[in-house]
């Protein structure tokens, strides 16, 4: 009997941090399974999820409504397969709907459980969430604790020495700062500009330093180049265009391929909230998380407020107020700090300046004991890996069972 897995997913963090490692493990265990990635509407999509998923070892990538229509057209044939739905981001109702249409079970990975009755198995990253789900009515045998899934997505292209050589970094280049501007088109232009200002400030302080700006695969290269043009910056690219050396000295490197590599060789990373926080931690890279509220209206927002802004002026003010109000009440924004249950990696929040961020990064660089302690703590926190394999094995067990 033909076996088929339909993965429900949405935005950049879930696609790169969850879908990619799970697909790799499923394909290794079940080479012949038909894998469909069904993309669902989401406030935080970049528009490039389809291109990203098409590079994975899957058989089909389509919007969830297209997938549903194709199932309806060949309903009997689709139901004749051994089917399973896996929810990896978005609205869980889509997973429930597709599973109901196929008359098959559904599984999910959820940092926070909701709709537990809709899934035969839910994987969670903490025992606390398992206990909370059970208190909310989930059956204990249906909730499994696994390591944090995004940690399995960190796959460097080589050793630090090999990566330094490929990037053309001189042996004497220290410190190396990696500054990542995020993956949301709604604000990435502004954040690239801000990161370039920070990079320039740091390079002025350290003559041998280099600044790497890894670019998310969900960001259009032309958007990055448009920022460079607006700033009057020149660049030269390596053969293949994987890396751009920016400025007359070429000490700023825009890294378009293998973005994890820019963290592997970094002494300190400067990042925005997101999956890249976990990826830095997995590599043991001391990082500073920024939450700039300088242009607060550009922060993506879910729900009605996100839909109305910026078409209606009153909601611009309301959005600013809501985000500022929430910021004061959230103890930790970084996924890593929430995972640790404390402020492990520093978070800079509020109206930030490039000079102020550079000051903090410089202090961290000069405080070697603190930096090495943070590195060790990050590696210990992320020591347990293998969630993708556990999920893939559960998928195999379900699909090969009678």
144 strand-pairing partners? 123
Q: Domain 160-381, what fold?
A: Rossmann fold (3.40.50)
Which residues fall within 8 angstroms of residue 398, CB to CB, at 6 or more apart? Answer: 84, 105, 107, 120, 121
* Residue entry with tokens 């394909």: 27
Which residues fall within 8 angstroms of residue 306, CB to CB, at 6 or more apart? Answer: 43, 300
Q: How far apart are CA 51 and CA 256, in angstroms?
A: 15
Q: Give, for all 402 residues of the chain, the pLDDT tens digit.
A: 899 999 999 888 899 999 999 999 999 999 999 999 999 987 667 678 888 899 999 999 999 999 999 999 999 999 999 999 999 998 899 999 999 999 999 999 999 998 899 999 999 999 999 999 999 889 999 999 999 999 999 988 889 999 999 899 998 899 999 999 887 766 777 889 999 999 999 999 999 999 999 998 888 888 899 999 999 998 888 877 788 888 768 899 999 888 889 999 999 999 999 889 999 999 999 999 998 887 655 555 554 445 545 555 565 566 566 666 556 667 888 999 999 989 999 999 988 999 999 999 999 999 999 999 999 999 999 999 999 999 999 999 999 986
- From residue 339, how far is each of 13, 30, 182, 336 by CA, in Å? 16, 32, 20, 5
Write down how long the chain is. Answer: 402
SS3 content of the chain, % helix, strand, coil (to 5): 50, 15, 35
Model pLDDT, residue 184: 72
* Neighbouring C-beta atoms of residue 330, cutoff 10 Å: 11
106 strand-pairing partners? 85
Q: How far apart are CA 342 and CA 332, in angstroms?
A: 7
Q: What is the pTM of this model?
A: 0.87
Give me the sign of the Cα torsion angle 272, 275, 277, 283.
negative
* Structure token pair of residue 224: 């990055």
Q: How far apart are CA 162 and CA 160, in angstroms?
A: 5
Model pLDDT, residue 324: 63
Q: How far apart are CA 116 and CA 108, in angstroms?
A: 9
Cite the DSSP H helix spans in 291-367: 303-308, 313-329, 335-340, 354-366
- For domain 3-147+386-400, which CATH number applies: 3.40.50.2000, 3.40.50.20, 2.70.70.10, 1.20.1250.20? 3.40.50.2000
Q: How far apart are CA 400 and CA 402, in angstroms?
A: 7
* Structure token pair of residue 157: 């292209």
**C-beta separation of 26 from 392 below 8 A:** yes
What does the domain layout of the chain look like in residue ranges? 3-147+386-400, 160-381
Which residues fall within 8 angstroms of residue 238, CB to CB, at 6 or more apart? Answer: 168, 244, 245
Burial of 82 (0-12, 13-18, 19+ CB in 10 A): middle
């Amino acid at each position: 009997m033909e076996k088929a897995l339909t993965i429900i997913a949405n935005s950049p963090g879930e696609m790169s941090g969850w879908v990619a490692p799970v697909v790799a493990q499923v394909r290794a265990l079940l080479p012949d399974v038909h894998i469909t990635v069904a993309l669902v509407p989401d406030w935080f999509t970049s528009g490039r999820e389809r291109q990203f998923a098409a590079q994975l070892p899957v058989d089909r990538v389509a919007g969830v409504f297209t997938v549903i229509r194709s199932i309806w057209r060949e309903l009997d044939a689709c139901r004749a397969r051994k089917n399973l739905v896996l929810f990896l981001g978005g609205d869980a109702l889509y997973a429930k709907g597709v599973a109901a249409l196929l008359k098959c079970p559904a599984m999910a990975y959820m940092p926070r459980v909701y709709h537990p009755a809709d899934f035969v198995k839910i994987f969670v990253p903490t025992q606390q969430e398992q206990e909370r789900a059970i208190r909310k009515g989930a059956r204990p045998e249906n909730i499994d604790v696994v390591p944090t899934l995004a940690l399995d997505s960190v796959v460097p292209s080589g050793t630090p020495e090999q990566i330094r050589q490929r990037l053309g970094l001189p042996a004497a280049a220290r410190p190396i700062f990696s500054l990542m501007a995020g993956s949301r088109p709604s604000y990435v232009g502004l954040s690239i500009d801000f990161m370039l200002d920070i990079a320039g400030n740091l390079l002025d302080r350290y003559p041998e330093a280099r600044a790497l700006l890894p670019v998310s695969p969900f960001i259009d290269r032309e958007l990055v180049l448009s920022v460079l043009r607006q700033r009057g910056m020149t660049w030269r690219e390596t053969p293949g265009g994987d890396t751009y050396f920016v400025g007359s000295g070429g000490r700023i490197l825009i890294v378009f391929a293998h973005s994890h590599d820019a963290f592997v060789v970094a002494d300190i990373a400067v990042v925005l909230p997101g999956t890249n926080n976990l990826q830095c931690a997995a590599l043991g890279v001391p990082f500073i998380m920024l939450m700039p509220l300088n242009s607060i209206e550009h922060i993506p927002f879910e729900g009605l407020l996100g839909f109305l802004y910026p078409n209606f002026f009153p909601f611009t003010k309301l959005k600013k107020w809501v985000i500022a109000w929430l910021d004061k009440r959230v103890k930790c924004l970084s996924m890593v700090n929430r995972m640790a249950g404390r402020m492990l990696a520093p978070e800079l929040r509020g109206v930030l300046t490039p000079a102020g961020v550079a000051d903090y990064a410089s202090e961290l660089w000069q405080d070697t004991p603190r930096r090495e302690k943070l590195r060790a703590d990050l590696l210990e926190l992320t020591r347990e890996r293998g969630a993708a394999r556990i999920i893939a094995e559960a998928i195999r067990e379900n699909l090969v069972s009678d």
